[in-house]
Copies of this chain bind each other. A is one copy, B any other.
Amino acid sequence: EIIAAVKGFFAESAAPRPLAGRRAVVTSGPTVEAIDPVRFIANRSSGKQGHAVAAALAALGAEVTLVSGPVTIPDPAGVRMVRVESARDMLAACQAALPADILVCAAAVADWRVEAADQKLKKQPGGAPPALVLSENPDILATLSQAGARRPRLVVGFAAETETVVEHAVAKRRRKGCDWILANDVSPATGTFGGDDNTLHLITDHGVEDWPRLTKQAAAERLAARIAEALAAASPKEPA
């Protein structure tokens, strides 16, 4: 008992690892949907916020799988990387990474994909532009929020909005069935997409909490600390 207490004391004073023994899956970056062999639809997500969340969870001791679309930023240290392109690939990679205690969906997932052509679409002289036939992609957040044995205990989504940010996000939380939503304004004027800062609103079943403008790293650390608190309250760990 004394040895265990001493071990616990040193572990905590060196670096608190409240998420040790927890598994987390984080999605990050854009998804890329092929139109044909050379063209694609993507979005302006840099992956900075999702990668920072993965790093912050790992820093608190979680075993993190980071499922990321194509980005140009470095891989965070200490996480398992899974690289994907399309929304369907991302969903499959997340499902393969379960079970987990924590799921944070920070990727900017394409709502729609294109019925992709096998050959490059050719411009026909004098012809009309081709019709891009869109199909709805699977909803990764909603799919993984569904009740069931493999549902992560805490599912956190992001809502990237350009208008009535909080209202949209509150509705989104209810619709998706996730536990928390972090809502942010990604209007071009905010510089959020690709930038280093983020102004977030945390929406839980207790209401809306407005966070100050933070660096994406500080926002990730705040989120990771909140996740650790929530999991500890829900299922206190055995005393060391």
Query: Of A40, A125, A130, which is in contact with the most chain B CB atoms at under 10 Å from its CB?
Result: A40
The interface stretch among A4-12, A31-39, A51-59, A206-214 is A31-39
| Contact surface of A with B, Cβ cutoff 8 Å | 35, 37-45, 72, 108, 110-112, 119-123, 125, 129-132, 134-136, 160-163, 168, 175, 186-188, 193
Given A72-B72, A125-B175, A160-B120, are A186 and B132 also a contact pair (CB < 8 Å)? no
A137 nearest CB across to chain B (Å): 9
Query: What is the distance, in angstroms, from A120's C-beta to the closest C-beta of chain B?
Result: 4
- In the complex the two chains form, is A41's CB within 8 Å of B37's CB? no
Give A209 to B109 CA distance when docked, in angstroms. 44
Q: Is the CB of A38 within 8 A of B119?
A: no
Q: Which 8 A-B pairs have the closest CB atoms?
A: A129-B134, A120-B162, A111-B123, A132-B132, A112-B129, A39-B43, A38-B43, A119-B162
Tallying the copies of this chain within the complex gives 2
Known contacts A130-B134, A132-B132, A162-B120; decide if A187 and B41 are in contact (CB<8 Å). Answer: no
Taking A112-B130, A119-B162, A132-B132 as known contacts, 20 extra A-B pairs with beta carbons closer than 8 A to each other, sorted by chain A number, are: A38-B43, A38-B44, A38-B45, A38-B108, A38-B160, A38-B162, A39-B43, A39-B110, A40-B41, A40-B42, A111-B121, A111-B123, A112-B123, A120-B160, A120-B161, A120-B163, A129-B135, A129-B136, A131-B131, A131-B134
CA distance A151 to B187 in the complex (A): 40
Q: How far is the CB of A176 from chain B (nearest CB, A)?
A: 10
Task: Specify which chain B residues have a CB less than 8 angstroms from the CB of A119 in the assembled complex.
Answer: 162-163
With A136-B129, A162-B37 already in contact, the answer to whether A186 and B120 are too (CB < 8 A) is yes
